[in-house]
Amino acid sequence: MARISPGFIPGKRTAARAAACGAVAVAVTFGMTTSAQADYYDGGMPGRSFNVKAVGINDTWVGFLDTGRKNWKNSGAGANIGRKSSAKATFTAGRYNESWLGLYSPSGFRSINRVFKIKVNAKKIEAKAGSKMTEWCRSTATHELGHALSLDDNPGTRKASLMKHSRNRAKVQKPQSYDVAEVKRIYG
Ligand SMILES: [Zn+2]
């Protein structure tokens, strides 16, 4: 998959991550980064502990965010994602006329002032999830938080991963052992 560098042209970056997170795989590469590992995403946060603010969503959607936070907290990856109204990183949801299910958009410099915006597309999930809407929303929320923990889409492994677009979203809602090991490797 495309390796996306968090540049500073919002439109470009958003388009790139939208392609990477959408239902339709589009092989587009903007810029280059170097990493020995295939699964590291440099758009993530500099540490495993950070806060996120819920913006413009009701209790149901705040619940999906909280499930994602809890899934990571209980995973053993050492991640501690808080929900705070003062946080600069944001999580929201809406009915967007876009192909992606979730969109993770980083900005700033990773080592200095990195923040992110996560958007979850209720319209697209509803169209694809059937009776498994809740499960798909939980899987998507936890997946997007995985990007904040520096995990890339579609890791090059045969093991199960929350970050694979091919995962069964009704069943794979939590970080898998591979994902946990990667977060520990990246931040360890
Ligand atoms: Zn993704």
| Residues in Cβ contact with 105 at an 8 Å cutoff, skipping those fewer than 6 apart | 10, 13, 14, 17, 116, 117, 118, 119
Range 14-40 average pLDDT: 48
- The pTM of the full predicted model, rounded to 2 decimals, is 0.84
20 CA from centroid of ligand 1 (Å) = 6
pLDDT per position as a tens digit, 93-114: 999 999 999 999 999 999 999 9
Spell out the domain ranges in the chain: 10-187
Identify the pLDDT of residue 166.
96
Q: Distance between CA 6 and CA 17 in Å, rounded?
A: 9
131 CA from centroid of ligand 1 (Å) = 22
188 CA from centroid of ligand 1 (Å) = 22
Q: Which of 50, 58, 49 is nearest to 88 (CA)?
A: 50
Res. 188 pLDDT band, cuts 50 70 90: very high
Pick among 3.60.21.10, 3.40.390.10, 3.40.50.720, 3.30.420.40: CATH of 10-187: 3.40.390.10
Res. 8 pLDDT band, cuts 50 70 90: very low
Identify the pLDDT of residue 7.
41
14 CA from centroid of ligand 1 (Å) = 12
